[in-house]
Amino acid sequence: MDQLKIGMIAVGGRGGLWRHWHQPDTGRSVVVAGADVSADALSRFRADHGGSPFVTQDYRRLLERSDVDAVAVCSPDFCHEEHAVAALQAGKHLFLEKPMAITTEGCDRVLSAWKRSGKRMMIGFNMRYMNIFRVMKEIVDSGVIGDLKAVWVRHFVGYGGDFYYHDWHATRANATSLLLQKGSHDIDMIHWITGAYTRRVAGFGGLDYFGGDRPNDLTCPACPDVRECIEAQPASTRVQCAFRQEVDVEDNQMLIMELDRGIKAAYLQCHFTPDYHRNYVFIGTEGRVENSEPEMKVWVKTRRSNTYRELADREYRIKPAAGGHGGADPVICADFVDMILDGKDPVATPIAGRMSVAAGCAGAWSIRNGGMPCEVPPIAEAL
**At what angle are helices 183-194 and 350-367 packed, to 10 degrees?**
120
Asked whether 269 and 178 are in contact (CB, 8 A), the reply is yes
Q: Which residues pair with 279 in a beta bridge?
A: 154
Neighbours of 305 (CB within 10 A): 12
Rounded percentage of the chain residues whose pLDDT exceeds 90:
88
Complete edge-to-edge strand list for the sheet that includes strand 252-259 = 314-317, 297-302, 287-292, 277-284, 148-156, 264-270, 252-259, 198-206, 374-375
Rounded percentage of the chain residues whose pLDDT exceeds 70:
99
Write the pLDDT tens digit of every residue in 37-57: 999 999 999 999 988 999 999
Q: What is the DSSP letter of 317?
A: E
Q: For the chain, which domains are there?
A: 4-124+329-347 (3.40.50.720), 128-324+354-375 (3.30.360.10)
Write the pLDDT tens digit of every residue in 308-366: 767 678 999 998 787 777 889 999 999 999 999 999 999 999 999 999 999 999 999 99
Write the pLDDT tens digit of every residue in 261-287: 999 999 999 999 999 999 999 999 999
The average pLDDT across 12-31 equals 93
Question: Is it the case that residue 152 has pLDDT exceeding 90?
Answer: yes
Q: Which long-range contacts (CB under 8 A, 24 or more apart) does 230-238 make?
A: 231/161, 231/162, 231/165, 231/166, 233/161, 233/162, 233/166, 236/162, 236/166, 238/162, 238/163, 238/166, 238/167
Residue 120: its pLDDT value, please? 97
Residue 383: its pLDDT value, please? 64
Residue 382: its pLDDT value, please? 59
CA distance 79 to 92: 17
CA-atom Rg of the chain in angstroms: 21
CA distance 58 to 95: 19
Write the pLDDT tens digit of every residue in 233-243: 998 889 999 99
Residue 17 corresponds to which amino acid? L
Complete edge-to-edge strand list for the sheet that includes strand 93-96 = 54-56, 29-35, 4-9, 70-73, 93-96, 121-123
Write the pLDDT tens digit of every residue in 205-263: 999 999 999 999 999 999 999 999 999 999 888 999 999 999 999 999 999 999 999 99
The average pLDDT across 287-305 equals 93
Backbone angles phi, psi at 53, to 5 degrees: -70, 150
CA distance 257 to 266: 6
Number of helices (H), then strands (E), in the chain: 12, 15
Asked whether 187 and 179 are in contact (CB, 8 A), the reply is yes
Write the pLDDT tens digit of every residue in 155-177: 999 887 899 999 999 999 999 99
Q: What is the DSSP letter of 377?
A: P
Which has the higher per-residue pLDDT, 306 or 133?
133
